[in-house]
A and B are shown apart, each in its own frame.
Chain A
Amino acid sequence: MRKNLVFFLFIILISCFTNSYAQESKASIKFIRWFFKDKGSILYTNRIFSGGAAALKKDILKDTLKNLKYDNENKINFLVFTDKEKRRLNRDIMKIDSKFRSKNILPGSTLIDRDTIDNILGDRGFGWPKFNERYGNVFYSFSKPIFIRKKTICIFYSDYSCQDTCGSGELAVYKWINNEWVKWLIIDHWVS
């Protein structure tokens, strides 16, 4: 009986892992490649900034997500989550700042471990000059995409940093319309 139970739990664990990984390797990677398709060769990290999940949770876990910008008719678009979606988001959002497993999400671009960046920029007095010397002027970070409604809606955060007061980031909701992704709602946008 106990052997059966252990085996059952093992199967569940494997199933969760493969589902998660499968999502990253298919829909997520496809979305990320679409997102960066016009950027060319970039330097990117394997996770977003430390504490990203907690920071983005405040913006995402709401009953309604509203666009920061009004449309041409001076109306504002919004997305209302169902209870089931909120439960799903509550679970998925904790993985939003975890590291990507794939080392080749963006072919032709260069991956840098986020821990390396954190160490350089946390190094007092030598942060950005040392980074510039070793890696260049800009690096990009992005979250794991969160899909809902049969992968027709995607919540995604991305940013780039180039100096102490040089950078920009955006949390947005994308919608699959006519066989392509369209940016639908801007939930948060920052610039430095």
Chain B
Amino acid sequence: MPAPAGLKNRAGVRSSNFIMKDLIWKRAVSGTASGYTYAEVPVKYSSKVTPAVFIRGNGQDTPSKPDDAVLKASFDRLIIYKDKKGTVYQKLISYVPDKAYLLRHKGDISHNRLGKLDKDFDGYIFHKEWSGKMTYILRIENGRVMKTIRFGDNKRKNNLNKVRAQQCDWYDIFYWYQDCVMYNDDPNDVVCGDPYSEYCCTEEYCYDDGVNDEGPMDCSDPAYFGHPDCSTDPDPSPCGYSYSKSGARIKNECMEIINNIKDPCLKALVTSLLDMNLNQKLSEIINNFDNNAIADIYFQDSPETKNFTPANFTNASYNPNTFIFKATVTLSTNILNESSKEFAGAVVIHEVIHGYFSKLEGANELLTKGHQEMADKFITPMAEFLVSEYLMSLKDATALAWSGLGDTKSYSTATNFSYNGGTMTKEELNSIVQAYRFKRNGSPIRDQNNDCN
């Protein structure tokens, strides 16, 4: 494993040890995957460290400086995961995008998560120990793993089936350091100085006819938690169409949300919910898709909607010839700009669930059934989502989740509504909803200067 001339192989250990790491717990997200429960927590450093890959060859031996936008958009997360026996592990993951992919997403890729990458994600994901020592690197193209470059012990443990390789590449890893200041613990609100580099390590990647020669991975090794090849979960289909190797178009049962909202604050609110993987979470909850349609849900805004409603789900249509379902959600700027973010968030989630239901039913069936199903199955997931997004109490979130379900039997016959840890009366529930509806509680969408919160 030769290092480039003039550089000492540090295997990444020293490089990160003198950097102070801190965790932004309030932005942590959690989930379950491959038999583990896990939390993904953003990391901030006294100096930002961005790993970059340089592939030697073609007469190039000097790594070029990564693009400033790529350095700015790259980020680290700590993954804490627990297996069924209760053993807890942790690892650091660095997400480093390719520039073209980054430009397509307007410089922000922070919505990507472990196992839930954009369908067009191009770049590298570095898996490291907490010390910074490299475990393996994933080369991702179109959201899928193209190469797994394993390091050190990790590699030796897995290359028992090594075949005779025809070609090898040398991957040099450099760390790019930047002195940064992060405001409000917001990884998107960071100002950094000029980057400077330090060599980390080099690894050889050999392959034969495009097939990695390192043999199968030992997926029982917790180090491979999060590696797509070791996932035991159903593959979440990307939204829209995909193409087979022969070029045939394949329909994926999924839903794409197109944010056409003009009002900047409402647009940001919907974007924030989508960044929290609202779409994915709902599709996980509604796991009984059967009409194999692609759904395009257009979000737009208008001063008013029909009948004093904060939002309308309308124009639902399904074309069985193209397998495309379309619908529009119109948000009322007059009402929602006078509401709290929590209320508006609950409204958006409510309408997106309508989207799933009407997609399932082939559009424009009367949707009172949808409300009843929401009341039966979605109160807790909706409330938990609101809690994670807005850090509100479960009681208030549960009340907001019930908002809009007044035409259901569950609501009309109930006198008390339960949530994990307590109950509330119908009057109490309505009072909570109205307080968020009219900004007497929660965070206003706009501040006193009319700027977005």
Q: Taking beta carbons and an 8 Å cutoff, which residues of A are in contact with B? A: 49, 51-52, 55, 68-70, 74, 121-122, 124-129, 132, 137-138, 141, 159-169, 186, 188-192
Contacts and interface: CB of A to CB of B under 8 A. Distances in A.
Nearest to B304: A51
B14 to A, nearest CB: 56
Interface stretch (B112-120, B152-160, B430-438): B430-438
B142 interface: no
Given A55-B306, A128-B434, A166-B371, A190 B314 contact: yes
B309 A164 contact: yes
A141 B307 contact: yes
Contacts of A169: 306-307
B363 A192 contact: no
Pick from A51, A165, A166 the residue with the most CB of B within 10 Å.
A165
A168 B404 CA distance: 11
10 contacts: A52-B306, A129-B430, A129-B434, A162-B407, A164-B309, A164-B433, A166-B371, A166-B407, A190-B305, A192-B313
Contacts of A186: 364
Given A159-B307, A192-B351, 5 more contacts: A132-B430, A137-B412, A165-B403, A190-B312, A191-B314
Contacts of B309: 161, 164-165, 167, 192
A168 B368 contact: yes
Contacts of B307: 49, 141, 159, 161, 167, 169, 192
Interface of B: 304-321, 335, 338, 346-347, 350-351, 354, 358, 362-364, 366-368, 370-371, 403-407, 412, 430-431, 433-434, 437-438, 440
The 8 residue pairs across chains A and B that have the minimum distance between CB atoms: A165-B404, A190-B314, A192-B309, A163-B406, A162-B406, A162-B407, A191-B367, A190-B312
B438 A192 contact: no
Nearest to A160: B407
A129 B407 contact: no
Given A161-B308, A163-B404, A165-B309, A189 B316 contact: yes
Contacts of A68: 315-317, 363-364
Nearest to A52: B306
Nearest to A59: B315
A126 B430 CA distance: 10
A125 B440 contact: yes
Contacts of B412: 137
A137 B407 contact: yes
Contacts of A121: 308
B320 A74 contact: yes
Contacts of A128: 406, 430, 434
Nearest to A117: B308
A165 to B, nearest CB: 3
A164 B437 contact: yes
B298 to A, nearest CB: 14
A34 to B, nearest CB: 17
A47 to B, nearest CB: 12
A70 B319 contact: yes
B362 A69 contact: yes
Contact of A137 (B308, B358, B406): B406
Contact of B363 (A69, A122, A127, A168): A69
A124 B306 contact: no
Contacts of A129: 430-431, 434
Contacts of B347: 164-165
Contacts of A69: 317-318, 362-364
B32 to A, nearest CB: 30
B306 A159 contact: yes
Contacts of A163: 403-407
Contacts of A188: 314-315
Contacts of A49: 306-308
Contact of B404 (A70, A189, A192): A192
A168 B405 CA distance: 12
Contacts of B430: 128-129, 132
A138 B433 CA distance: 18
Nearest to B346: A165
Pick from B309, B367, B438 the residue with the most CB of A within 10 Å.
B309
A132 B427 CA distance: 11
A138 B371 CA distance: 14
A124 to B, nearest CB: 6
A138 B406 CA distance: 8
Nearest to B343: A164
B398 to A, nearest CB: 15
Contacts of B363: 68-69
B350 A165 contact: yes
B266 to A, nearest CB: 15
Contacts of A191: 312-314, 354, 358, 367, 370
Contact of B434 (A55, A125, A137): A125
A189 B364 contact: yes
B389 to A, nearest CB: 17
B306 A70 contact: no
Contacts of B440: 125
Pick from B304, B317, B318, B354 the residue with the most CB of A within 10 Å.
B317
Nearest to A70: B320
Nearest to B330: A190
A189 B304 CA distance: 16
A164 B304 contact: no
A166 B346 CA distance: 13
Given A70-B318, A129-B431, A165-B347, A192 B312 contact: yes
A54 to B, nearest CB: 11
Contacts of B318: 69-70
A164 B404 CA distance: 6
